[in-house]
C-alpha cells in the first residue's frame, strides 16, 4: 500500500484549513457547534450545555491499548480525553470526566504539543474522545502541530449527538470517524441520556461521516487509515434498540461497515432499573445475530 498522507495536510498546504478555523471560531461567538445550539458567546467566557468556554479542557492524554484493533496496532491509539460532554448519560462509565469535568483548561499550543507528543510516543493516530463541543479548539491546534511534524490520522470518537453543519466543516480534516450509536429510539435517548431527537440526529450525522470517509480502510498491517468505525453498546432489556440501529447501518450506511457491538456495559454513576445490571450472554448473542441477519459481517472481534 502506498504511503499515507492525512487529508488535513492538504487542507493546511492549500490554506483551506485556516478558513475552516476562522469559520469554526466564529461559531463560538453564538455557539451552534452542536445540536443544542446554546448561542452563548464562548469567546467571552460564557458557557452553555457543554460547560466549556473558549479554551480546550483536557482530562488526560496517553497511548491507549483498549480501543479497536485497527486503531491500536502495536503502538497504541494516541488518545486525548476531553472534559465534559453534550450528553448526560445516567450510566456514563467516564462520568468523572464527562459529567464532573475532571481535567484542566489548556492553551491551543499545549493541545498541539499533546498531539505531537503522542506521535513521538509511537501511536498510530490521534484519537479525540468526546470532541463534539471542542471542535473549534481542536482544529485551531492543528497548524502548529503540523508544523512540528504531525502526520497521523485524526480520530473523531464521539457519542453521535452531532451537528451536520459542523461536521461539514470537518470534511478533509478527520480521516477516521468513530461514533457510538447509543440508541435506536428517541424516547430512550431522552430518558437515559437527556437529549432530544437523538435517533433523528445521529442518523443524519453518521450519514455525513460516511459520505466524507467511506468504509474503513486499513493498511497492510491492519492499521486504520481512513473510514468509519461504528460502536454500539448493548444495554439491558433492549434499551439500546439494537435491531433499529443495525437495520439503519445495513440499509442506509453500508453492510461493509466496521461495527463494534460492545458487551462491556456495567452499571455506573446513576444507573437505575433496567440499567442496574450487566447484560447477559444471551442478550449479547442476540445483538450479534441481529447484525449478521442484516448482512453486517465486519464485526469487531467476531469470527464466523
Q: What's the pLDDT tens digit per position in 193-203?
A: 999 999 999 99
Which residues are 57's β-sheet partners? Answer: 105
pTM, 2 dp:
0.97
List Cβ neighbours of 176 (8 Å cut-off, separation of 6 or more): 71, 125, 153, 154, 155, 156, 213, 216, 224, 225, 226, 227, 228, 229
262-294 per-position pLDDT tens digit: 999 999 889 999 999 999 999 999 999 999 999
pLDDT for residue 220 is more than 50:
yes
- Report CA-CA distances (Å) from 247 to 184, 198, 278, 288: 10, 16, 24, 13
Cα 266 from Cα 205, distance rounded (Å): 27
Does the domain formed by 7-293 have CATH 3.40.50.720?
Answer: no
Q: Please give the grid coordinates belonging to residue 78.
A: 494516541
Q: Label residue 286 left, alpha or beta by phi (over 0 means left) and psi (-120 to 50 means alpha).
A: alpha
78-132 per-position pLDDT tens digit: 999 999 999 999 999 999 999 999 999 999 999 999 999 999 999 999 999 999 9
> Which pLDDT score, from 0 to 100, does residue 303 have?
57
- Using the structure block, give the residue that is written with the C-alpha cell 464521539: 158
Would you list the domain boundaries of the chain? 7-293
pLDDT for residue 304 is more than 80:
no
Cα 79 from Cα 74, distance rounded (Å): 14
Percent of the chain with pLDDT over 70: 99
Amino acid at each position: 500500500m502506498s504511503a499515507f498522507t492525512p487529508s488535513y495536510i492538504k487542507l493546511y498546504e492549500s490554506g483551506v484549513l485556516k478558513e475552516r478555523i476562522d469559520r469554526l471560531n466564529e461559531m463560538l461567538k453564538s455557539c451552534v457547534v452542536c445540536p443544542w445550539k446554546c448561542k452563548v458567546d464562548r469567546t467571552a467566557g460564557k458557557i452553555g450545555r457543554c460547560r466549556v468556554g473558549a479554551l480546550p479542557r483536557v482530562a488526560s492524554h496517553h497511548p491507549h491499548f483498549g480501543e479497536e484493533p485497527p486503531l491500536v496496532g502495536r503502538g497504541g491509539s494516541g488518545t486525548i480525553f476531553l472534559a465534559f460532554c453534550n450528553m448526560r448519560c445516567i450510566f456514563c462509565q467516564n462520568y468523572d470526566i464527562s459529567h464532573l469535568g475532571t481535567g484542566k483548561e489548556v492553551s491551543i499550543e499545549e493541545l498541539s504539543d499533546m498531539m505531537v507528543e503522542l506521535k513521538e510516543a509511537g501511536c498510530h493516530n490521534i484519537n479525540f474522545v468526546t470532541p463534539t463541543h471542542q471542535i473549534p479548539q481542536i482544529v485551531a491546534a492543528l497548524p502548529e502541530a503540523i508544523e512540528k511534524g504531525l502526520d497521523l490520522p485524526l480520530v473523531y470518537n464521539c457519542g453521535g449527538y452531532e451537528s451536520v453543519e459542523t461536521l461539514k466543516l470537518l470534511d478533509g480534516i478527520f480521516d477516521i470517524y468513530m461514533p457510538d450509536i447509543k440508541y435506536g429510539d428517541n424516547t430512550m435517548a431522552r430518558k437515559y441520556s437527556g437529549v432530544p431527537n437523538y435517533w433523528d440526529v445521529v442518523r443524519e450525522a453518521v450519514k455525513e461521516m460516511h459520505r466524507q470517509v467511506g468504509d474503513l480502510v486499513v493498511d497492510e498491517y491492519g492499521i486504520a487509515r481512513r473510514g468509519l468505525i461504528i460502536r454500539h453498546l448493548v444495554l439491558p432489556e433492549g434499551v439500546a434498540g439494537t435491531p433499529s440501529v443495525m437495520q439503519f447501518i445495513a440499509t442506509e450506511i453500508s453492510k461493509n461497515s466496521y461495527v463494534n457491538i460492545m458487551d462491556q456495559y456495567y452499571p455506573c454513576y446513576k444507573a437505575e432499573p433496567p440499567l442496574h445490571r450487566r447484560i447477559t450472554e444471551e442478550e449479547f448473542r442476540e445483538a450479534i445475530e441481529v447484525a449478521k441477519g442484516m448482512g453486517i459481517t465486519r464485526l469487531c472481534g467476531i469470527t464466523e
